[in-house]
């Protein structure tokens, strides 16, 4: 029975693996007047300190929550062209992040992938 369950789990994980391999290929915006921003959180080690895998900031875009940025993951945001403020913060209820807030501003052009 255990062998069957392990085989099923392995089969499902293989089905979920991207056919193109392990590299990333960004998707263009769906609308011509929008832009796409990818925010990455790469895998990293933090020797001797709190494990990074269990801590995550919430990403705010123009003051609105856009999602949690988990360890070794990314968030894809499709936004209208123009200037946007991005903040990674630990000050929201959903976040589990020690740094309280780091901000960055981007000016996005229509059709841009940043």
CA-based R_g, the chain, Å: 18
Number of domains present in the structure of the chain? 1
Instruction: Give domain status of residue 51, yes or no.
Output: yes
pTM of model > 0.85: no
Indicate whether 81 pLDDT > 70. yes
Instruction: Give domain status of residue 61, yes or no.
Output: yes
**Average pLDDT for 73-95:** 94
114, 46, 41, 42: which is closest to 81 by C-alpha?
114
Domain containing 55: what range? 24-108
Instruction: Give domain status of residue 17, yes or no.
Output: no
In this structure, are residues 61 and 79 in contact, taking their beta carbons and an 8 Å threshold?
Answer: yes
Return the H-helix or E-strand segment holding 67.
strand 64-68
pLDDT for 9 equals 36
pLDDT for 50 equals 59
Instruction: Give domain status of residue 53, yes or no.
Output: yes
In this structure, are residues 60 and 37 in contact, taking their beta carbons and an 8 Å threshold?
Answer: no
**Average pLDDT for 50-72:** 88
């Amino acid at each position: 029975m255990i062998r069957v369950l392990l085989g099923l789990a392995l089969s499902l994980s293989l089905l979920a693996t991207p056919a193109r391999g392990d590299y990333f290929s960004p998707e263009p915006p769906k609308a011509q007047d929008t832009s796409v921003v990818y925010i990455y959180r790469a895998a990293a080690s933090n020797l001797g300190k709190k494990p990074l895998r269990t801590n995550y900031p919430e990403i705010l875009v123009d003051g609105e929550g856009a999602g949690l940025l988990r360890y070794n993951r990314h968030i894809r945001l499709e936004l209208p062209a123009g200037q946007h403020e991005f903040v990674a913060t630990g000050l929201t209820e959903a976040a589990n992040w020690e740094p309280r807030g780091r901000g960055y501003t981007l000016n996005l052009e229509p059709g841009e992938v940043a």
